[in-house]
Each structure stands twice: as C-alpha cells, then as structure tokens.
Amino acid sequence: MDLIPKPDQVAAAASNVAHKLLYGGVADLRPMARTLIDEGQLRELYHYRPVAGVPSRGGPVLLVTPLAAPSLCFDLRRGCSLVEHLVNEGRPTYLVEYGRVSFSDRNLGMEHWIDEVVPTAILEASKHAGGQPVHVVGWSLGGIFSVLTAADRPDLPIASVTVVGSPFDVKQVPLVAPIRPLLNISDGKLVTRGYRMLGGAPQPLVRWAFQLSAFQKLVTKPLALASHLDDADFLAQIEAVDRFTANMIAYPGRTFGQLYHRFVRGNALVAGVISFGDRTIEVARLDKPTLVFAGAGDGIAPIRAVQALMPLLTGAPEARFEVVPGGHLGMLTGRAARGSTWRVLDEWIDQWSSPAPRQSKPRRKGPAQTTAQRDGIGSNPARRYGSKSSRSLAP
C-alpha cells in the first residue's frame, strides 16, 4: 500500500482482513487431487488426476521431495503450485514423498533413498504411464537424490533429470561458514552424540533451521504484512509458506549423520564422487540430459553452490544451467516462478519427450559446457533471467 493509502487500497485491505478473520485466511490451500499407486518403507508414490478434456502432453513427470520438507513444496497453493501447472498443461504428473519419520527409522541412511525409494518410484511411474521414460524433477536434497540415483542406475527409464536448488559445493553456502569452526570442535563428536541420542534431527529443529535461513524476512515479516494488506496474492503466499514451514519433517538419524559428516564437514559432493560401503557413485556417469536451476536470492543453496554440479556432468548429452528469480522455495513455487522456472521446465520436458527428442552426441571428455558458460551468465541475449547475481559469475 502507499504511505497514504488510496480509497481502493483501503477497501481491498479491509476485505482481506475481514476474509482472514471470518475464514482463517485468503489463500486457496486445497491440494490437487491425487491417488496413491505404490508404497513401501518411507515411500508413497502418488499420481495426480488429469484434468478432463485436457490432452496428454509430453512424457510423465516425477517430482522428488527432499527429506525433512513436506510435499507441499510442489503443491503450495492454488496459483502457485507446480503440480497444478503441470496437470493443467496435460502432463502425467507423479510425486514421491516419505511420510512421517519416526525414531524407529533412525538406522536408515541415504542408501535407502538412492537404492530403493527413488528408483522404485521411477520404475512404478514409468509403468503407470505405459512404459514411457520419466522426467525426474528434484528440489533441494531431492535433486541430489535424483542425480545420484541416475548416475548409479543408468538402466532406469529416465528421459531427463532436473535439479532445483541443490547445493553441490557446501563451502559456498554462507549459512555454514560462520558455524564451520563449531562443527570441528572435538572432531564433530558433540554433534554426533546429539543426533544419535535424538535418533536424528527432530522436526522442531528442522523447522527452526529453515526459518533461520530466511531470518531477515522473518524479522521484517510484520512490516511486510502491514504494507501489503491490500495485496491478496501476497498475503496468500505468506499463509502458504507458513503452512509449509509448520509441516517440516524430521531427519532419520543415520541419514542426518551422513549429511553432516560427508556434505557439511567433508563437502564430498563437490568432487562428484561418493561412496556407500564398497560401492562408489560418480556423477560423471549420469548419461541423461540434465537441467540445473539456481535461485538468484537463494540463501540455502546460492548460485555458486548449485553451479558446482555443472563441471561434473561430463556424461550428460546436454547440461543446461539457469539462474531464475527467487529464494530456495520461491524459485520453485513463488509468484515469479510462474513465468520463469516453470516456463523453462516446460520447454525442457517438451524438448526431451518422445517421440523425437533433440539429442546430441554425449560428450565424454571435459566438463559439460552450457550456453551460460560459453557466453557468460547473464550476458547471453537468449537468456531471459539475467540478474546481478548471475552477471557476477560471467568470466
């Protein structure tokens, strides 16, 4: 609203406040209709019901949820729901989520998701879609799971892999830098004892950590709400994000330990090689087209942390890097995502869907070179989402 509100702004603000008091909010939080088609230990695979009269378009899409975050990330609210967008476009849409993590799940490690959860979801989604290869879209840790699964299992029916806000170089994450000396105290034994005693990272701690990543927005939230009382869409987004944060899920103990020791302390992903027991997974073995998104305002997975994946994709037929508006959640399902992330994703899925994907010969030597890397991020005339953050990466 203006400093001195106009009459129409006052009327809109009054309407929004009344709607919130009478109905509890202004956001349309109805979930998209879906059907459970497969389940297992911490694995629930859903198929979203298609819209009557909308013809099917492109190959099936599987949305891979990260640990600790609810699947609301993909279906935040009507108008800002990636699921709603995909279904309305006629795309066969599937989602894998994990349910509630309990103390009894404390011995499950990352292998459970890379060996069982994600591969089974891909196979079942492909089977349900008539045997078509699947476009795998993973957000945050879901993107890391997707990359490691595709690299480990080249036999899976995968049409393409899309990674949204997944940090592969944790040293580039500013939230970790100030606490890194604390993580090294007693060789990390203090943290290790803590998560073993609790059986992982409990839900309140996960929720607090997510809120801390957006501390500045949290502090200024009352002022932002007061200044946008006339903007129903803004208020609806705040309500939806608050619901998302309130539904955070715990981390299983062993998985949390692996993330802490290997990713936060060891920064293992930056080299593109990670071992589980006597098996080693190399990101370079991923031989599917790969699209990587970084958020211009992402504090959890900054641009450079996400971009670290690109030189590892030497086996991909095509690797594309895009900087889009928004923070960690906003880049996926914020108001600006409608005209940026989702539009690029639509183009990508159409490009790599049967029957005639525009494939090129895989490059096995040297790092995958993207349009952004050739012409300088933010300087390519074909790029629609240049930003100050992306231009600073130009060579």
User: 46 lies in a domain?
Assistant: yes
- Is 11 a domain residue? no
Q: Is residue 369 part of a domain?
A: yes
Residue from 259, 313, 317, 266 nearest 288 by CA: 317
- Tens of pLDDT, residue by residue over 285-334, are 999 999 999 999 998 899 999 999 999 999 999 999 999 999 999 999 99
Is 85 a domain residue? yes
Would you tell me how many other CB atoms lie within 10 Å of the CB of residue 234?
17
Chain segment 345-384, per-residue pLDDT in tens: 999 999 999 764 444 444 444 444 444 443 333 333 344 4
Lowest model confidence (mean pLDDT) among 123-132, 167-176, 313-322: 167-176
Phi then psi dihedrals of residue 203, to 5 deg: -55, -45
pLDDT at 233: 72
Higher-pLDDT residue of 97 and 368 is: 97
Quick one: which of 5, 29, 390 has its CA closest to 228? 5
Residue at 203 is within a domain: no
Question: In terms of residues, how long is the chain?
Answer: 395
Residue 181 lies in a domain: no
Domain that holds residue 53: 31-173+266-391
Q: What share of the chain is helix, strand, coil (3-state, %, to 5)?
A: 45, 15, 40
CB-CB contact of 287 with 310 (8 Å): no
Does residue 205 fall inside a structural domain? no
Among 269, 250, 64, CA closest to 167: 269
Per-residue model confidence (pLDDT) at position 377: 38
Q: Which residues contact 368 (CB under 8 A, 6 or more apart)?
A: 290, 310, 311, 313, 314, 316, 318, 319
Check: CB of residue 324 under 8 Å from CB of residue 163. no
Which residues is 38 bridged to in the sheet? 45
- The C-alpha atoms of residue 164 and residue 64 are separated, in whole angstroms, by 10
What single letter denotes the amino acid at residue 299?
Answer: G
Q: Which residues contact 78 (CB under 8 A, 6 or more apart)?
A: 28, 29, 30, 84
Average pLDDT score over the chain: 78
Contact 119, 53 (CB under 8 A): no
Q: Is the pLDDT of residue 192 over 50?
A: no
Token pair of 131 as six digits: 């045997």
Q: What is the DSSP letter of 114?
A: I
Average pLDDT over residues 208-214: 47
pTM to 2 decimals?
0.77
CATH number at residue 92: 3.40.50.1820
Asked if residue 110 lies in contact with residue 255, where contact means CB atoms within 8 angstroms, the answer is yes
Residue 131 is given by DSSP the state S
Number of domains observed in the structure of the chain: 1
Q: Is residue 193 part of a domain?
A: no
